[in-house]
Chain A
Amino acid sequence: MSPANIVVEGLTKSFRVAERRTGALGGLTGLFARRYRTVTALNGIAFALDEGELLGLIGPNGAGKSTTIKILCGILEPTAGRCEVGGLVPWRDRITHVARIGAVFGQRTQLWWDLPVVESFELLRDIYRVAPDRYRKTRDELIDLLDLERLLSTPVRQLSLGQRMRCEIAASMLHEPRVLFLDEPTIGLDAVAKLAVREFVKTLNRERGVTVILTTHDMQDVEALAERVIVIGNGAILADGSLSSLRRGALAERRLWVHFAGDVATVDVPGATVRQQLARSVELAFDPSVTSAHGLIAHVASAYDVEDVHLEEPPIEEVIARFYALHSVES
């Protein structure tokens, strides 16, 4: 089996959480008789991923995205189910497995806080037993791709979040893993840093063939990167497919903005509903499987004095929110 084949079947994970009783006596009784509650984080997740794919894993907070990633990384052991990454069972063959993968957790740091960036890199080189000449080549490429030259001698604690994240991603690639896990890599980043991260991930995936699994709340990340999206809600997979198929299933409508030459009192167009009306423009919503866009535009142009029109799709955030609502997933 090639090292990047990921197979997940019936993955289930439940946690036992100690419940705290309320009240003064509650704390005391809790010392002697603890009550536990079982929380099911994952309930039968299944998917397969080929080498070189880029998968976006999305879902509301607490849906089970991070738990899935942690199991795939070998940090957590599932309660039931099968999971293999390149023929290895992550938690059972942990040491061999983690040497082959890279991981970045947006809310954590794997760099040593007090050390200059380059020393963290050198430590990782030794931890992952990377040959010196191989290391130099990879490091120089990463420095070049992520524009790290000026950051190398700075202690990590003095870096901005965006600078740090670029270094974190470089750190995760020094041992040239064929699979990369990114758990919210763009969280808290400014627009420029987000673009840099996206660009780099795209290069890794498209040009180097690195398999990437990405979780994010930023739908622009998904739009820019992922050809395939898995939506997780309440510990189960709700959808698995392209972003456009998700769009079709959840919120297929399209929108037409019409700008008029003069003031218009009321707008009434068959096959479309008015979403909002301003003094000289109107936003119409229509179902493209019922009403064709060019028919709608032709009708509007003949009925009104039109200056300009443009077509829009609903923003991806709205599609996802609708999707969650349709599947009654709490976010």
Chain B
Amino acid sequence: MGSTMGVGLRPYQAVVRARFNLLLQYRAAALAGFVTQCWWGALKIMVLSAFFRGVASSPMTIQQAIDYVWLGQALLTLLPWSADPEIARMVRSGDVAYERLRPLDTYAFWYARAVARRTATPLLRAIPMVITAGLVLRLLGMSRWALSGPAGWDAALLFCASMVLVVALSAAVATVMDILTVATLSDRGVNALIGPLIIVFSGSLVPLPLFPDWLQRGLALQPFAGLIDVPFRIYTGHLSAVAAASGLVRQAVWVVLIILIGRWLMARVMARLQTQGG
């Protein structure tokens, strides 16, 4: 399997490019998603500010919490909360066996698909969301609720590095979900089981710093923190430079581990798929 990895990335780049361009065409879905995400963002911020009111000390400032929520809404589709519907369709129709007809490492092939999905869709939604939350709200005189810029130049740089790792991590988790879809012959179980876990433990539902103190250590170590919590806390300046660096290391370690798990699963599932006959 590994032998083709070094030969050339051209096929995988082509897959990413083709799917990226394809997904960019779904503008109507992006618009609908954008409206929903604005609504949810506003709702979350109202709830959070109600909690913050009258509290003497909190684990993060209200502005940090607001930025965390807006970024989370802008980059919601970066979260791997569902398996690739295309692979689910191929599992149902039996076409999935034909993915093996391509002279590609199937894991890398699917990882490339996941990278496209976790960049194209978020890009479509993030741009209007950032404009709305960062600019339009200010123009409307609602600066208190608006998204502010990164905490500083260093934070901005570290945030960019962290976001690259987010894409890598998200694609790795999504690929594991794709493989489990093949193993269980349906994406429903996988999505129902893993989806909610990711929404809670990434910090998408409630920012992770707002969880009880005794949970913080465990929350920082689990893989899904690397999907939202690490980069957003870097952006808002909630993490010091040292803590940010350690966050990046944790992200990178999880990327490697989850890719290894995915490859191991893929080998097992493909061997079993062969006994089922596709």
Contacts and interface: CB of A to CB of B under 8 A. Distances in A.
Interface of A: 15-16, 41, 67, 70, 73-77, 91, 94-96, 98-99, 103, 105, 108-110, 112, 114-115, 119, 122-123, 126-129
Interface residues of B, number: 28
B18 A123 contact: yes
A126 B10 contact: yes
A133 to B, nearest CB: 16
A99 B3 CA distance: 14
B258 to A, nearest CB: 23
A15 B277 contact: yes
A94 B22 CA distance: 29
B14 interface: yes
Contacts of A67: 277
Determine chain A's interface SS by DSSP, over half rule.
mixed
Nearest to A13: B277
A95 B277 contact: no
Contact of B98 (A110, A115, A126): A110
Interface stretch (B64-72, B102-110, B192-200, B226-234): B102-110
Contact of A95 (B14, B105, B271, B276): B105
Interface of B: 1, 3-4, 8, 10-11, 13-15, 18, 22, 25, 93, 95, 97-98, 100-105, 271, 274-278
A108 B95 contact: yes
B4 A95 contact: yes
Given A127-B14, A129-B8, 15 more contacts: A75-B100, A75-B274, A77-B275, A91-B274, A94-B100, A96-B103, A98-B100, A99-B103, A109-B95, A110-B98, A115-B18, A115-B22, A123-B14, A126-B11, A126-B14
A13 to B, nearest CB: 8
A46 B47 CA distance: 71
B91 to A, nearest CB: 13
A127 B11 contact: yes
Given A115-B22, A123-B14, A129-B8, A76 B274 contact: yes
A129 B101 contact: no
Given A123-B18, A127-B15, A95 B104 contact: yes
User: Which 5 residue pairs across A and B have the least CB separation, nearest first?
Assistant: A126-B14, A99-B103, A127-B11, A77-B274, A75-B97
A127 B98 CA distance: 14
A108 B98 contact: yes
Contacts of A76: 97, 274, 277-278
A96 B97 CA distance: 17
A77 B100 CA distance: 12
Contacts of B278: 70, 75-76
B133 to A, nearest CB: 31
A184 B80 CA distance: 38
Contacts of B271: 77
A229 B146 CA distance: 74
A230 to B, nearest CB: 20
Contacts of A103: 101
A92 to B, nearest CB: 12
Nearest to B98: A108
Given A105-B98, A110-B98, A112-B18, A127 B104 contact: yes
Contacts of B11: 126-129
Nearest to B103: A99
A52 B4 CA distance: 29
Contacts of B8: 129
A91 B275 CA distance: 13
Contacts of B277: 15, 41, 67, 70, 76
A112 B274 CA distance: 24
11 contacts: A70-B278, A73-B101, A74-B101, A75-B100, A76-B97, A95-B105, A108-B98, A119-B18, A122-B14, A126-B10, A126-B14
Nearest to B90: A108
A99 B101 CA distance: 8
